[in-house]
Amino acid sequence: MATGGQRIVEDVPAAVLAERIDQAAAALRKARYVCVLTGAGISSESGIPTFRDALTGLWAKFSPEELATPEAFERDAKLVWDWYESRRRLLREAEPNPGHYALAELERRVPKLTLVTQNVDGLHQRAGSSGVLEYHGNILRDRCTLEQIVADRSEDSRNGLPRCAACGGLLRPDVVWFGEPIPRGPMLGAAAAAERCDVFLSIGTSSLVYPAAGLAETARHAGATIIEVNPNVTELSALAQFALRGPSGRVLPALLAAVAD
Ligand code: BV8
């Protein structure tokens, strides 16, 4: 059992993985309503490091949980903004990968699908997925700290910090920081999808951050079949009927192909 984020690898022979993919595909073929939850792992093949992957370069001495907090922003807004700008630069170079495209296609193959993502990178939308619930916000939007609304930037930024074009207030990235509540729409939409789905697909998440990590438990208690796509064993693995061990950029296209068979 995975504990506290260290990586536990389960070597699954190709034949066993293929068999599990066929069984998971059979569950998806029968599904009326599919709920999908994605985490950083689905974007790692697009060159976006996961949260488990230690921060690199000048950020190596920080942990994401340290920088992604209102306290850190209060303490040193410039430091936090520099971190987000570095992630935005990386994102501008990134493209959706076959895992993102497979999910956009799966949405067209099943009667109803709700995609909930913990990722703030917008890659699902760029791959063609619709109605994506951004559970932790989006790094490419700015929010005004005074009006608490998504805002445009004013030309003049004071001491290198972006300002709201409407009121001059300090801007922050439109993401959910640790200790902050999930935005109402995505929170209610995700909870309803988890309660009503008959298949819950958990992809590329370590299932350590709450309340996102609780959605699979909600689905399981409502009788849904849990399918996990992750090369490593996670906190969720014991709850999953089908654990598909491999990178989502390879497993999801194979799963989609099996659904179509
Ligand atoms: C809140 C946005 C209350 C910012 C993020 C219950 C128990 C314990 C703690 C808590 C609890 N309830 C609340 C807490 C506190 C906290 C929390 O969960 N802490 C954790 C650390 C224990 N939760 C909160 O603070 C939440 N807010 O509770 O508010 C409240 C309520 C009302 C009023 C006021 C307050 C808010 C949490 C959201 C924080 N923001 N992101 C930003 O991005 O900068 S979280 C961020 O980290 C991500 O969004 C994501 O959610 C998380 C990282 O997790 P993963 O995505 O799973 O990524 P990770 O790197 O961990 O794992 C990657 C996985 O991919 C691995 O398993 C790996 O094996 C796999 N993988 C790798 N390669 C591939 C792959 N898989 C497939 N294919 C591959 N190729």
Residue-wise pLDDT for 54-107, tens only, equals 566 656 777 878 899 999 999 999 999 999 999 999 999 999 999 999 999 999
Residue from 178, 228, 229, 230 to probe ligand 1 pocket by mutation (most atoms less than 8 Å from CB): 178
Q: What is the atom index within ligand 1 of the atom nearest the CA of 136?
A: 2
Closest CA to 118 of 12, 204, 199: 204
221 is catalytic: no
Three-class DSSP category at 158: strand
The pLDDT of 33-47, averaged and rounded, is 97
222-259 burial code (b ≥16 CB/10 A, e <16): eebbbbbbbbebbbbbebbbbbbbbbbbbbbbbbbebb
> What pLDDT, in 10s, does the model give residues 99-134?
999 999 999 999 999 999 999 999 999 999 999 999
* Residue with CA nearest ligand 1 atom 6: 210
The answer to whether 204 and 44 are in contact (CB under 8 A) is yes
* Ligand 1 first shell, C-beta below 6 A: 39-42, 44-45, 50-52, 65, 68, 118, 120, 136, 175-181, 204-206, 208-210, 212, 229-232, 234, 247-249
The model's pTM:
0.95
